[in-house]
Structure 1
Amino acid sequence: MNRIFPCAAIAVFVFSGLYAVDRSRAESPVVSLRSNDLTTIVAGKARKFGRLVGDSVVAGFRKPQDAVEWTVVAPKADDYAVSVIFSSPHRHTMEIACGDSVVTAPSVMRTWEGRPFYWRQEFPGVLHLEPGENRIRFRLLDPVSEVRGDPRKVSIVGLASEFALYSIELGTPAARKAQRERAKAIRGDTSWMIEGKYGLFVHWSALSYPFRGDKPRAEWFQESVAMFDVKTFADAVERTGAAWVTFTATHKGFYWPGPNEALDA
């Protein structure tokens, strides 16, 4: 029997186009850390020091004084494991500090072509936070002082020409262990895919262009959803010999090819 599965191809972080000019040096919003889970904060939410730019992804690290700072509220005094998501064509020494508690790590270099264009790195050791408000600061101890190009025009589609910080992740070691255990518990059984040997992935969204005419993509998308003939599609799949079909339900922009109670609420 043919099996059809919806699949959501959702990027963890959605950024648009190019880095925007930073228009504010105001205090960063206060973020409350979860006591039993990981908390991820985008770099653009941090207060910027020096000549850093970026409303979502932060770039422009030229001197050790260039830094970003988040204000977080810890529910109690505890040690927190720290990770960052970034991209960089050069190796740097990264530092994250909160008061006298400091962790450092050499940045991992990219060793592959194509996606992903950014990667996650866990720091060794832990960062100690006190109960209540804490200020966490990130900087490069050895930034590249001379970088060609404007950091405001570093595209996220492709490896950045300089160090670019996307986000920071904080969580107690116990929370990180619990996350790994949850991931194992909900891991799906994919034996049906292996046993089926051959299947089809259909990647289609509101960003797809129409086959004919010059209608706007969103208008064509809605019309195509109404025109979709399930029986004709299933018959065509059966003729290919595919054992299963997976639809990409959404990609980047959250436009779903059908009603969705959670999003429509």
Structure 2
Amino acid sequence: MDRRVAVVVEDDEDIRGLTVALLGQSGFVVHEAATGTAGVEAAQRHDPTVVTVDLGLPDIDGYEVTRRVRQFSDAYVVMLTARTEEIDTLLGLEAGADDYITKPFRPRELRARIDAMLRRPRTATPSPQGTLRDPAASASAAVPSAVSSASAAQAPGAPVETPALNAQPPSPAAFGAAPTGDARLEMDGLELYPELHQVLADGREVLLTPSEFLLLETLMVSGRVVRAKAALARIVRGEDADSGTFVSQAEERTVEVHLGNLRRKLADDPKAPRWVVTVRGVGYRMAGSAQRVR
């Protein structure tokens, strides 16, 4: 990446110093803040690639910091907290965080999590008004790699259908070379601009977190081929879907939360899905096949 900037929002001086030093050693220009309000201002001023947010801050909590940052930035947000209850994790993800690490954490773990996120290029550019640029603004678009499926559990409230287990995912090469201008993936009024990190639903711009965008992009490339929660969890953490690495129930639950947020933002009813379909006992797929439009 040409520019690696991080903002650390942490009121504990020792932990803030450790995180600043760790990110500095990883090649980031780091800006620090001891309060939530100062952290949001720093994120607005410096357009960071990564933001780490403590949950318990002296003014506004980490959830509110994340929500405010999400109004103008697509930075990778990692929430750091001593709280270990599942509800805290879910609230953090629903607020727009990409990852959640409990304290005390090992510096190596934080670095590994951030490295995994950076393998998913952050390509959107916030406009001066604080929203993502219109797709017609410019830039070329690339098509993501296809992923494979593994086993997964049912998401609550989703329709039941028979999975297409023998189907083959479309190859990225089927979409051709990386297009220019306003090229996009499109399916039934849903448009995704890969390099602009933009999504339009029936012409309405939908602002997604990097993880939500990656999941939608993966599913659109896969079309009607089912993708399992375990496979999607590996993709989210920057691994190959077929790597076979262990995926915990918490990570699968994280995928559920991200997809729940995605559906809510798209206004896609899980009981009568127009775009994202849950396949009971297997995972997720799109309701149709996406086409690339130049």
Both proteins in one fold, TM over 0.5: no
Larger Rg: 1
TM-score scaled by structure 1? 0.23
TM-score scaled by structure 2? 0.21
Q: Comparing both chains, which one has the higher relative contact order based on Cα–Cα distances under 8 Å and sequence gaps of 6 or more?
A: 1
Point out the structure with the larger strand share.
Answer: 1
Point out the structure with the larger helix share.
Answer: 2
